[in-house]
Structure 1
Amino acid sequence: MVAYVNDKIPDKLIMGNPILELHPELLVSPVRNIECDFIREGTGEDNYGKEVEDIFIIDIEKPREKCEGKDSFATLPRKLQEKFKDTVKNDLGKLDTDREAIVEYEIYIKDGKRPPRQQAYRLSPKLGKVTSNLINELLDNTFITPSKSPYSSPIVLVKKKDASYRLCVDYRALNKVTLKDPFPLPRLVLENWSG
C-alpha cells in the first residue's frame, strides 16, 4: 500500500487510488512514507455518502515505544507501586501445587445441547510461536495443566500496549449452551456487603 500525506486537508485522512483517480488535484509529491503496523478498516458512508465505492479511514498515530525488557510495574506511580507491591508482579512465578483448589465451579449445559468442542483459530507462524511460548510458560508455572475435557474453546491473542500479547479464551460458544446461574456469586457478595 502506498500512502501520500497531504497537508491541505484539515482532517487526518489517507486516500486510496480510487479517490486520487477521481480527484487528481489532491495528488502531490509524497511528503513522507508511513509505515503501517496495524490498519483497522472503517466506513465513510455516513460522512461521504454512497457515491464512492471504497473508503478506508485510518487514524495516524506516532508509533508507541515498545517496552520489551522493561519492568512495567516500575512505570506505575510510587503510590500504586506501594499499594500493590504484594499482588502485582511482572513474572507469573510458580503456583503452589500442594495447596488445594480454592474455588470449584460446575457448568451445567442446557437440555439437549452438547458441550462445544471447537477447533483452534488459525494463527500466523509468528503468533503461533508467541502462543506456544505463552502456553509453555503457563504450564511450567502450573497455572494450567493438560486436559482431556469434552469441552474445547479456541484461544485468542490480544495485543497489549507494550506490544506483547495476552492469552484469552473465546468462551462464546460455551456461554450459548450454559444454563445461567440464578444467583451469581458476585451479586450475592455485593448484597451481603451493602449496608
Structure 2
Amino acid sequence: MLADDQALVRAGFRLLLETEDGFEVVGEAADGAEAVAEAERCRPDIVVMDIRMPGTDGLEATRLISEHPDLRDTKVLVLTTFDVDEYVFEALRGGASGFLLKDVEPVELLHALRVIAAGDALLAPSVTRRLIAEYASRPQNRRPHPTALRELTDREREVLALVAGGLSNDEIAEHLVISPATARTHVSRIMTKIGARDRAQLVVLAYESGLVTPKRL
C-alpha cells in the first residue's frame, strides 16, 4: 500500500512496483488518517509511508498501524525526503520496519521491500544505527530498563547486542561460533520474550534500555 500526499509520487511507485514480479499495489492514501483506514480495509503486507503529509503525519500513522490489533502482520517502510535524526528514530520506535530516503535507486527500494517482506528489518544499518545511537544516547531519550529485558538469558542479551550492531544471523553465528539455525532460534526467542515485531524493534529496545551504547559499537 502507498501512502504519500503527492499523487505523482504514488503513480511512480505504483508503476515501478507493478512491473516487478511478486508485487501488487492494493491501496493508496494521501494522508496519515487515510493510510490507517486504507490499511484496515486492504490489510497490506507492507505500507510505503511518507512522513510529511497533511493532518495525521506518517510517524503517527505508522504508530497507529503498528499498534492496531488487526494489522499485526502489516509492516511499514518509511520513505521520505527528510534526512532528520529524530524522524529515523521515531519511525523505528513507532514500529516501522525500515527507513529510506526517496533519492534511493529503484533497485534499492525493491530490495528493501523484499527484505521487509522476508521478515528482516532495519535497512542501511550503517546509517540508521548511527542515527539511533546518537538519538538514544541523549539522556532525555533513555527509558528505564524494561522488565522483558530482565527475562533474557546472558546469551540472549549477547545476541541482542549483536543484532543491534547490525549483524545478520549468519554473522552472529560466526561471531559466537554457533550454527546459523541456533542464531535464528536465539533471535526468535528474544523477539517472543520482548514482544517485538521484528529486528528493528529489537535494535531500538537495545539502545533505549542502555544494553548497547555508541561507545560499545
Q: Same fold (TM over 0.5)?
A: no
Q: Which has the greater radius of gyration?
A: 1
Q: Could you say which structure has the higher helix fraction?
A: 2
Q: Which TM-score applies when normalising by structure 1?
A: 0.26
